[in-house]
Amino acid sequence: MNLTASIDEDISTSKPDTGSYEWWYFDARDHNGEYQIVVIFYEGCPFSSRYISQQDFNPGHVKSKASQYPAVSISLYKNGKTIYYSMSEYAPSDATFSRNGISLRIAEHTLEGFIDENDRLVYALRLNEELPGGDRISGMLRFSSPKPNKNLWKNLDRSQAGDAAHQWNLVQPLAQVKGVLSVSKKDSFEKPVIFEGTGYHDHNIGREPMRKSFVDWYWGRIHFNEFTMVYYVMNQHKGKDYGAWLISVDNQQILDVSTSVRIDGMNVNGFGLSSARRLEFAFKEREITVLCNQILDNGPFYMRFRSEARMQGGDHLEEKSFGISEYIHPDRIHWRIFWPMVHMRYRFAYDKPHWVQRSPMMYRWTW
């Protein structure tokens, strides 16, 4: 894993190799803990069955390139329940990715990154989408933070650690988030959400299909009062690559580094996907236990959790917080036995929608 913290590297990159992928990830939670949102912009969506088919059977064709598979994923949760979900792939002609600055457009969704008049890094997300079943989301979110420290990883010898086929750019470990979101269904309207809370943004680039880089991967982020904890546990084909870091609230320094990690509480979901529900990280002066006890997204190769984190120093509980944790087993993305189920919720916006997606009741069942 190649770790960076750079605005300059948050732009779209060249991905000539088949199976390459790139995504810009954002999540946020309002101050009341009522709403959570996750938005991901993809260039070369690794979950696209059409992209995978081209990788497997026609790797030299232009259709096997990442630029042919732009996509956007939006998940909005209220009190831990999904109230809007979409995973939409668009035609290449509907997407623009700039290599001269932080700017991209996929259909009617846009992302712009800039430095404001207060010398803060700001990302402006505009969302606008209507699904075949009548569900709709629109609105804008602004993620604001100090500019990242380019030397964040310099003294930890992590900038070139692990498998360089995957790059993780930690741009905004902690951001202040403000915005307005409007959600409606075919037969009802949700009161507009005036969003104000804390958020997170990172940028991932893969130079090869994920299943070639690792067997499975746990990762997540938790905001505590005095720092943000970010972690990953990546089981690679040649060993384990893991780490957890406590990053200051101004995003400028790493306050502590994990010395060990333990995963436990293995559980199997209805699709046969086995993952740990308890991750324990030991630091110099404290221990943090992450409990993946509330499932937000449940699938055959990927799971997302609203996780509870408990921090202990000595024998007493210092602080408890909540965040987003994720798990993926990428080889299972290629298992065609799951594709009929995947196609119920994965939308090819340039093609005729799946019959499940045209039914509000049936589509929400896939959430």
Residue 314: pLDDT above 70?
no
pLDDT band at 158 (very low <50, low <70, confident <90, very high): low
Q: Which CATH superfamily is domain 214-334 in?
A: AttH-like domain (2.40.370.10)
What's the pLDDT score for residue 233?
95
pTM for the structure as a whole:
0.96
Q: Where do the CATH 2.40.370.10 domains begin and end in the chain?
A: 214-334
Mean pLDDT computed over 343-365: 96
Phi/psi for 52 (5° steps) reads: -65, -40
Q: HEC string of the chain?
A: CEEECCCCCCCCCCCCCCCCEEEEEEEEEECCCCEEEEEEEEECCCCCHHHHHHHHHCCCCHHHCHHHCEEEEEEEEECCEEEEEEEEECCHHHEEECCCCCEEEECCEEEEEEECCCCEEEEEEEEEEECCCCCEEEEEEEEEEECCCCCCCHHHCCCCCCCCCEEEEEEEEEEEEEEEEEEEECCEECCCEEEEEEEEEEEEEECCCHHHHCCEEEEEEEECCCEEEEEEEEEECCEEEEEEEEEECCCCCEEEECCEEEEEEEEECCCCCEEEEEEEEECCCCEEEEEEEEEEEECCCEEEEEEEEEEEECCEEEEEEEEEEEEECHHHHHCHHHHHHHHHHEEECCCCCCHHHHCHHHHHHCC
What's the pLDDT score for residue 58?
84
What's the pLDDT score for residue 59?
82
pLDDT band at 191 (very low <50, low <70, confident <90, very high): confident
Residue 160: pLDDT above 50?
no
Mean pLDDT computed over 131-146: 97
Burial class (CB in 10 A: 0-12, 13-18, 19+), 90: buried
Mean pLDDT, the chain, whole residue set: 94
Burial class (CB in 10 A: 0-12, 13-18, 19+), 124: middle
Q: What are the tokens at 67?
A: 């630029």
Residue 321: pLDDT above 60?
yes
Residue 188: pLDDT above 90?
no
Q: HEC string of 189-220?
A: ECCCEEEEEEEEEEEEEECCCHHHHCCEEEEE
pLDDT band at 157 (very low <50, low <70, confident <90, very high): low
What's the pLDDT score for residue 162?
47
Mean pLDDT computed over 242-252: 96
What's the pLDDT score for residue 274?
97
Residue 159: pLDDT above 60?
no
What's the pLDDT score for residue 310?
96
Lowest mean pLDDT among 27-36, 112-121, 149-158, 315-324: 149-158
